[in-house]
Amino acid sequence: MKALVFHRNVPKYAAAMVAGSLLPGSGAKVGPLRLEDVDIPDLPGPDWRYVKPRLTGICGSDLSTIDGTSSRYFDPIVSFPFTPGHEIVADLVDAGAESKKAEPDGTNRVVIEPVLGCVTRNISPVCGACAAGDLGNCEHIAFGDLQPGLQCGFCADTGGGWSTMMVAHPSQIHDVPATMSDEAAVMVEPAACAVHGALAAGICAGDTVVVLGSGTLGLLTMAAVRRYTRAGTVIAVAKHPVQRHFASDLGADVVVEPGELPRAVRRVTGTMALGDGTITRLTGGADVVIDCVGSEASLADSLAVVKPRGRITMVGMPGRVEVDLTGLWQREINLVGAYAYGTETVTDDRGEAERRRTFDLAFELVQANDLGRLVSATYPLGRYSDAMIHAAAAGGRGSVKIAFDLRGEKERGRL
């Protein structure tokens, strides 16, 4: 079968760091990622299934890996060589001895929930997090019947979506409604991340909320904030015209460019500014900031505009950053992370709380907002270098989500 494979290769990883620093996404040309003919993975257990990816998205975490900027924190929870890709809509292949040779007809489509928790690893009893439905917090992502890997796409045993075949556990499989397009279905996994982040932000009725960053994750988070919380004014920070358009359409009341954020928060909240032009912060600020970028600059901006005892939720994946945390201390700000998904507590129309799987909420969000329209361009596997460069510069090129289209690929077919 065909697969994009990422090997452990320190010199090529270093070359990717250099190339990616000059042109984001270009680490794919010189780094450890290669398109290869590889063996179809073995099923890890009797209940596992083969799936054939149809569309697989390119995520910001994928780009950081390809460009050599991902944190060394992930080293113990990744196994090599791995095939990236965790935003996946696929065909579920019929069970049976010859299943890996079957050609699905597109009528049995599924979305993969990629987290590899206790159940997928055949660990019993499951850890406390998995027992509570909080799969993203599983304590056993390096143990059990699978090699280490926090998700499909980072585990050598499961494969990933940047391939013509991979494996999935029944607990990871979600049926796609016949009325949902492949483009909409491939948005379900990132939408689940956004739903979890929006609910982890602890938004109260009437809160002023800043969503910092309007790439794929930021736009999906805005939609989730509007659907699943009772936020008041939502301020979106968007750098590019296409992002500003979608931010307004998906629920932002105020859309500003990055340098305009402090002024916008002042106008909405009626707070004052302190500073001499070099260091500026607000005396009050937004109740909640959801950082969907995860950079040094975005965290500094978040700290500058959140109110005392406000809450910053990191939804975008950060790495090593150097940020002055004096304000965090002096203003008693809450800084929390929001990773992946599992089960959420949501309030229904009667004001009663209920627990629901994040992916169920994500399916609803995608369908309600027609989020398949955010898929701007697709590429075959053979053009992976072009795909990475496009994804890294998506906003500036008038795009949002870039994905690989596997629907024309065969197991032994063309590149």
Structure tokens at 7: 């090997």
Q: What is the pTM of this model?
A: 0.94
Nearby residues of 278 by Cβ (< 8 Å), 6 or more positions away: none
Amino acid at 205: A
Amino acid at 321: V
Amino acid at 184: A
**Within 13 Å and on the Cβ side, how many CA atoms surround 54?**
23
**Cα dihedral sign for 238, 243, 244, 246?**
negative
Give the single-character DSSP code of 273.
E
76 class by beta-carbon count within 10 Å (0-12 exposed, 13-18 middle, 19+ buried) = exposed
Q: Measured in whole angstroms, how far is the alpha carbon of residue 414 from the centre of its chain?
A: 29
Instruction: Name the residue among 57, 25, 84 with its Cα closest to residue 388.
Output: 25
Instruction: For residue 266, count other CB atoms closer than 10 A to its CB.
Output: 17
15 class by beta-carbon count within 10 Å (0-12 exposed, 13-18 middle, 19+ buried) = middle
Q: CB–CB of 390/377 below 8 Å?
A: yes
Long-range residue pairs from 306-311, CB within 8 A, at least 24 positions apart, any chain: 306/210, 306/331, 306/333, 307/269, 307/271, 307/282, 307/331, 308/284, 308/332, 308/333, 309/333, 309/334, 310/285, 310/286, 310/334, 311/201, 311/202, 311/287, 311/336
Q: What is the pLDDT along the chain (415 residues), one digit of tens a residue?
A: 999 999 999 999 999 999 999 999 999 999 999 999 999 999 999 999 999 999 999 999 999 999 999 988 999 999 999 999 999 999 999 766 445 565 666 679 999 999 999 999 999 999 999 999 999 999 999 999 999 999 999 999 999 999 999 999 999 999 999 999 999 999 999 999 999 999 999 999 999 999 999 999 999 999 999 999 999 999 999 999 999 999 999 999 999 999 999 999 999 999 998 876 655 789 999 999 999 999 999 999 999 999 999 999 999 998 888 899 999 999 999 999 999 999 999 987 777 889 999 999 999 999 999 999 999 999 999 999 999 999 999 999 999 999 999 998 854 333 3
Structure tokens at 193: 């991340």
Q: What is the distance between the alpha carbons of residues 20 and 22, in angstroms, rounded to a whole number?
A: 5
Which residue ranges make up each domain of the chain? 2-189+366-405, 202-337
Instruction: Supply the pLDDT for residue 37.
Output: 97
Structure tokens at 390: 């496009």
CATH superfamily of 2-189+366-405: Medium-chain alcohol dehydrogenases, catalytic domain (3.90.180.10)
Write the DSSP assignment of 126-150 as a string of letters: PPHHHHTT-GGG-S-TT-TTS-S-S
Q: What is the distance between the alpha carbons of residues 34 and 25, in angstroms, rounded to a whole number?
A: 14
Write the DSSP assignment of 232-264 as a string of letters: S-EEEE--SHHHHHHHHHTT-SEEE-GGGHHHH
Q: What is the distance between the alpha carbons of residues 383 and 32, in angstroms, rounded to a whole number?
A: 16
Helix (H) or strand (E) holding 157: none
Instruction: Supply the pLDDT for residue 101.
Output: 61
Residue 83 φ/ψ, nearest 5 degrees: -100, 115
Instruction: Supply the pLDDT for residue 106.
Output: 63
Are domains 2-189+366-405 and 202-337 of this chain identical in fold?
no
Whether the link from the prior residue into 81 is cis, omega within 30° of 0, is: yes
**How distant, in Å, are the alpha carbons of 3, 192, 320 from that of 74?**
22, 21, 12
CATH superfamily of 202-337: NAD(P)-binding Rossmann-like Domain (3.40.50.720)
Instruction: Name the residue among 228, 218, 251, 247 with its Cα closest to residue 358.
Output: 228
Q: CB–CB of 160/79 below 8 Å?
A: no
Structure tokens at 197: 């982040």
Nearby residues of 135 by Cβ (< 8 Å), 6 or more positions away: 113, 115, 117, 129, 340, 341, 342, 343
Instruction: Supply the pLDDT for residue 20.
Output: 95
